[in-house]
Amino acid sequence: MSRIAFIGVGNMGGGMALNQVKKGNAVAAFDLSADALKRVADGGATAAKSIAEAVKDAEVVITMLPAGQHVRQVYAEQILPNAPTSALLLDCSTIDVDSARVVAKQAKEKGFAFADAPVSGGTAAADAGTLAFMVGCDEGDFARVEAALAPMSRITIRAGDHGAGQAAKICNNMLLGISMIGTCEAFALAEKLGLAPDRFFEIASKSSGQCWSLTAYSPWPGVGPQTASDRNYEGGFATAMMLKDLKLAQDAAARAGASTPMGANAEAFYALFDRLGYGGKDFSAVLQLLRGNLDAL
Ligand code: NAD
């Protein structure tokens, strides 16, 4: 049994914390939202009154927070001053690479082992304990990191040193955003050309256009495996979340001097869809914008 402090038990962190409880670990949770905290307390976690209380005798501290500013503030003001330096610190939020490196440096200076460990997989994978973790950490810390993440994980891969986990995450999601738009454009064109969507799916999924956005996450309802498109694009991976990740990728590209014209277009396209009021819909719903069929949503 490990003593785990879990900070941020919202849509993702809630399920993740409960999987730690299910594996027999003692979880002290904290969240600004009383509702989020109640959900994990009902599932067997202890609701702490503050972050300081949650981390004070923790062996592992896990954060699952909205963005870089939350992670920087919580680490600087709450976790680093109050956790024992023997604790392993794991930030699983999706944040910018620079923030991850700043927090890693501050943690290391105080003698902590730290890893950025963002996840792939949405709330269903968080609840099921089948997330994929991409880890940036010192090589010597990885075995400990992997063991601490195991109750929440299907696979854990070390991407490199601090910040590399976040770099892998935003590169992966930029590719996903671009490939989903490409898949939707191909379906929309196929329709205009009189090609049945299921025929296009069968042919392209066995041809060189094959990609995850097509074969595993088809945006066309009723075609391919069950996806968010079959639930009128509810649940799944929200457009607003994809937009956040594409913005992180564009910021990182600007700072690193990388050319990402397709990523920039994908960001602009998802920003438009978000502004039209569809930020809560699954990111594959852009198919309906391309078809001129927003009334379907
Ligand atoms: P969420 O908003 O449901 O959860 C975040 C929680 O953090 C909230 O409950 C909020 O109250 C809490 N919080 C914010 N500031 C806090 C503070 N100072 N102290 C304590 N608690 C605080 O968001 P989520 O969907 O769970 O996403 C969390 C992270 O996971 C994000 O970085 C997101 O990009 C990433 N992510 C989300 C998904 C997804 O499908 N939802 C998938 C992969 C990664």
Q: Do 22 and 49 lie in a common domain?
A: yes
Q: Residue 137: which CATH number? A: 3.40.50.720
User: Distance, CA 118 to ligand 1 centroid (Å)?
Assistant: 12
Q: Residue 228: which CATH number? A: 1.10.1040.10
Q: Do 77 and 175 lie in a common domain?
A: no
Q: Do 143 and 19 lie in a common domain?
A: yes
Question: Which long-range CB contacts under 8 A does 80-86 form with residues at least 24 apart?
Answer: 80/106, 80/107, 80/110, 80/112, 81/52, 82/51, 82/52, 82/55, 82/56, 83/5, 83/55, 83/56, 83/58, 83/112, 84/56, 84/57, 84/58, 85/110, 85/111, 85/112, 86/59
Is ligand 1 within 6 A of the CB of residue 222? no
List the catalytic residue out of 38, 169, 247, 281.
169
CA dist 46 to 41, 72, 118, 162, Å?
A: 6, 24, 24, 30
Q: Can you read off the two tokens belonging to residue 261?
A: 């014209």
Q: Any idea how long the chain is?
A: 297
The number of distinct structural domains making up the chain is 2
Q: Do 99 and 196 lie in a common domain?
A: no
Is ligand 1 within 6 A of the CB of residue 14? no
User: Which among 161, 192, 210 is the end of a domain?
Assistant: 161
Q: Do 206 and 143 lie in a common domain?
A: no
Of all helices (H) and strands (E), which one includes residue 4? strand 3-7
What's the CA gap between 245 and 222, in Å, rounded?
28
User: Which among 138, 161, 184 is the end of a domain?
Assistant: 161
User: Which among 161, 196, 228 is the end of a domain?
Assistant: 161
17 φ/ψ angles, rounded to the nearest 5 degrees: -65, -40
Q: Do 183 and 58 lie in a common domain?
A: no
Is ligand 1 within 6 A of the CB of residue 7? yes
Pocket test for ligand 1, best of 6, 7, 9, 11 (most atoms within 8 A of CB): 11
Is ligand 1 within 6 A of the CB of residue 81? no
85 φ/ψ angles, rounded to the nearest 5 degrees: -65, -10
Domain range holding 107? Answer: 3-161
What's the CA gap between 260 and 248, in Å, rounded?
12
Q: Do 176 and 155 lie in a common domain?
A: no
Does residue 122 have a pLDDT over 90?
no
pTM reported for the whole predicted model: 0.94
Looking at every residue in the chain, the average pLDDT score rounds to 97
Q: Do 66 and 206 lie in a common domain?
A: no
- What is the structure's pLDDT at 11? 87
Pocket test for ligand 1, best of 64, 99, 116, 154 (most atoms within 8 A of CB): 64
With a pLDDT cut of 90, the percent of the chain lying above it is 97
Residues 77-93: pLDDT tens digits? 999 999 999 999 999 99
User: Distance, CA 14 to ligand 1 centroid (Å)?
Assistant: 9
CA dist 193 to 197, 200, 201, 229, Å?
A: 11, 11, 14, 22
Residue 165, by phi and psi: left (phi above 0), alpha (psi -120 to 50) or beta?
alpha
Cα within 13 Å of Cα(182), Cβ side: 15
User: Distance, CA 293 to ligand 1 centroid (Å)?
Assistant: 31
Residues 192-202: pLDDT tens digits? 999 999 999 99
Residue 285's nearest CA partner among 173, 294, 262, 265 is 294
Res. 235 pLDDT band, cuts 50 70 90: confident
132 φ/ψ angles, rounded to the nearest 5 degrees: -100, 125
169 is catalytic: yes
Residues 6-58: pLDDT tens digits? 999 998 999 999 999 999 999 999 999 999 999 999 999 999 999 999 999 99
